[in-house]
Structure 1
Amino acid sequence: MRLSFLQPLLDRPGPWATVYFDPGQADEAGAKRRELSVREICRTLEQEGADAATVAAVRDDLTGLSPADDPAGRVVFATGGEVVLSHRLSRRPEGELACWAPLPRLTPLLELCGQDPVSLVAYIDRTGADFELRTAAGPQDSGHVEGEQWPVHRTTTSDWSERHFQLKVENTWEHNAAEIAEALAAAHEESGADLVVLVGDPRERPAVRDRLPEAVRAVTVETEHGGRSAGSGSAALEEAIDNARQEHLHRRVDEALDRFRAGRVGTERPTDAVEGVPAVVDAAREHRIDTLLVRPDGPDLHREMWAGADPDQVAVRRTDADFLGDDDPVSVRADDALLRLAAATSADVLIIPFEEVTDDIPAGGLGALLRWTYEPSAA
């Protein structure tokens, strides 16, 4: 999961109000419950020390939320009397969370926004394709391409002129497949999608896939359900896309854990992975983290750390604060400090689901795959 959308949070000193809010049902009873929930959330923030202007900004933002627009709810981050970021959730929070803390409360976001891969869906026929990008914020148009429109249909006779016409049809299909593949590769590069799903014409799909660059082809799957025409979506298509996304995620978790086991300290190869708060903090400060691994049940997630105003200013012990360059570091949770730094350094973040781990790795619940390896010191 890329945290680039958290960029607005990185340049503000805090403290922060963080609220994970479930708008409930779109009926009269639901409206009454929302009103009571907003009142309780504001009371909690006030009790924890939030200033009146920030509480008012949170109240106004939550009051304006609609179950129709945000069925799973939103997370709101506010400081200095304004809502800095309000982000849509893809899963309902299990009980609302409201807190006032030196840093934004980020870890619940990982599970509630989901880490389903960003998917680029290409709806293909023999004349062109429409592209749709699917993210945690929902689907959005990502462009289209039109190839040659004639001729595109075969005939059923064996007459020489008709066979010649069929050859032109074949050439049109081939030309359009190449056009679609080129446009799809460009859309993939622009979007940074993790997965490409080809939907539509059973002949054109493999023709397009074969013409994709190898790197794009490696993350491309096909489904026989659905098509390009309007209204051709179906429950079967949505299930196929969801299955493709889940399979991609499971492969990614498996590959990350294999790399982590092979590369952590104590193996015979140069270190490619680290675990535990001190080692992860060292790697984070040096911007060496490629992927931050988070096990939600890990005890180290709520371990105390020290942080300054800049995301790079993190330390394990208060006595190390002199190296931060901040005269007044504050006590923070380890997971929030490291996630803020991951967002600042464009590191990826990967949740290790409970069911994927049998040997409690990474230790303490926090680990990292590194951007480059290094030889551990003899000491």
Structure 2
Amino acid sequence: MDLAFLHPLYERPGPWASVYVDTSRHTEDTPHERRLTARAMARGLASQGADEATCRAARSAVEDLRHSSEPHGRALFARAGEVVLDPPLVRAPRADRAEWAPLPRVAPLLELAGEDPVCVVAYVDRKGADFELRNALGREDAGGVTGRQWPVHRTSSVDWSERHFQLRVENTWEHNAAEIADALAVCQEETRADLLILVGEDRERKSVRERLPKRLRDLVVDAPHGTGSRLLDADVERARAEHVARRAEAELDRFRAGRTPDDEGRAAAVEGVPALVEAAREHRVDELLIRVDGPDAHRQVWIGEDADQLAVRRTDLKILGEQHAWPARADDALIRSAVATDASALSVSEQEVPVGGLGALLRRP
């Protein structure tokens, strides 16, 4: 997950109100329920020590969602009476919640707002293709291409003239497949799509796939149900989930291999809070791996005003010259450091790797 969008949260001092709202339920009572949720969250923040202006800002922002048709939810981060960032979620949170802490509570975003593969669904036939852009927030038309319209169907005759006609049919199919592949490649480049899902007859899909640039062929997925009406949301979600799982497993494989030191005794991956804190202070983290429910994720560390002022013990910060220190969750503190050093982060579900739930792939020296 690219963490650059979180920069505004670390350009201002804390403490912060962090709010997660489920907007996946839509009934006649939803506006009233959201108003009640807004009041409850404001009271909860106040009980945790939040200032009145920030409580009002959070309450107002949640109330503004009472008519929202967003399919999953919204995160809200506020301080000093202002909502600074309010990203939409691509998965609904398990429950509405509001927290007040020295750092914004951003680690849940790795699961709830990250890894949202963009798909282009191509409905292919012999005459052309229609493209549809899909992500967790919905779908939209992405254009298409119309190829040669005639001739496109074979005949059963075997005389010379009909064989000549069938050759022209073959040429038309090949021309149209090339046109579709070219248009699909342009669409992928413009949308930065992670997946290309092909819907249609086996022959048409194969013809298009073979004509795509080699760099895109690993992105292609064949629709499980072949031809027909618009591809079901469940099929798209399955393809997206499998893509995320493959990426996570590939990064975990890199992590497992990187834990073994090389001939010079240097490891390309570390795990555990002390090692991660040291790597973060030295700006060596390239990608954080976080299991949100891991025991190390909520372990307490100490932070200063700057992102690289991070330590396992409070006394360590004083040694580093920081006079002010606050306790923070390890996952949120490490994400702050990752944002400051342009590192990325990935949510993983493997129960044993990294040990404790926190690890990192390191930058090459």
Mark yes or no: TM-score above 0.5. yes
Equivalent position amino acid for 2:63 in 1: T
TM-align CA RMSD? 3.1
Equivalent position of 2:328 in the other structure:
332
Tell me, yes or no, if the aligned pair for 2:31 and 2:66 is still in contact at 8 Å.
no
SS at match of 2:268: strand
Equivalent position of 1:258 in the other structure:
253
Tell me, yes or no, if the aligned pair for 2:271 and 2:359 is still in contact at 8 Å.
yes
Tell me, yes or no, if the aligned pair for 1:292 and 1:369 is still in contact at 8 Å.
yes
**Structure 1 CA distance for aligned equivalents of residues 181 and 79 of structure 2:** 46
Shift of 1:273: 1.2
Equivalent position of 1:150 in the other structure:
149
The answer for unaligned runs of 5 or more in structure 2 is none
**Structure 2 CA distance for aligned equivalents of residues 131 and 194 of structure 1:** 14
**Structure 1 CA distance for aligned equivalents of residues 271 and 258 of structure 2:** 11
Tell me, yes or no, if the aligned pair for 2:9 and 2:85 is still in contact at 8 Å.
yes
CA displacement, residues 141-186 of structure 1 (integer Å, 9 cap, x when unaligned): 4x33424333252241445455444433433332332333233334
SS at match of 2:297: helix
Q: Which moved more, 1:198-207 or 1:54-63?
A: 198-207
Tell me, yes or no, if the aligned pair for 1:125 and 1:200 is still in contact at 8 Å.
yes
The answer for unaligned runs of 5 or more in structure 1 is 375-379
**Structure 2 CA distance for aligned equivalents of residues 346 and 293 of structure 1:** 15
Relative distance call for 1:281 and 1:189 in structure 2 (3 A) is farther
Aligned-residue identity in percent: 53
Equivalent position amino acid for 2:255 in 1: F
Equivalent position amino acid for 2:355 in 1: A
Scaled by the length of structure 1, what TM-score is found? 0.82
Equivalent position amino acid for 2:93 in 1: P
| Among 230, 235, 239, the residue aligned to 1:233 | 230
Shift of 1:309: 4.5
**Structure 2 CA distance for aligned equivalents of residues 131 and 8 of structure 1:** 35
Shift of 1:294: 1.1
SS at match of 2:124: strand
Shift of 1:75: 1.4
Relative distance call for 1:116 and 1:337 in structure 2 (3 A) is same
Equivalent position amino acid for 2:257 in 1: A
**Structure 1 CA distance for aligned equivalents of residues 199 and 185 of structure 2:** 15
Tell me, yes or no, if the aligned pair for 2:154 and 2:169 is still in contact at 8 Å.
no
**Structure 2 CA distance for aligned equivalents of residues 70 and 21 of structure 1:** 11
Equivalent position amino acid for 2:250 in 1: E
Tell me, yes or no, if the aligned pair for 2:124 and 2:205 is still in contact at 8 Å.
yes
Shift of 1:66: 3.7
Relative distance call for 1:64 and 1:267 in structure 2 (3 A) is same
SS at match of 1:75: strand
* Counterpart mapping for 1:101-250 below 5 A: 101-113=101-113, 115=115, 117-141=117-141, 143-151=142-150, 153-156=152-155, 157-158=157-158, 160-225=160-225, 232-234=229-231, 237-250=232-245
CA displacement, residues 320-367 of structure 1 (integer Å, 9 cap, x when unaligned): 4368786644332110122233344454432222xx33xx32122100
Equivalent position of 1:305 in the other structure:
301
**Structure 2 CA distance for aligned equivalents of residues 111 and 139 of structure 1:** 21
Shift of 1:290: 3.5
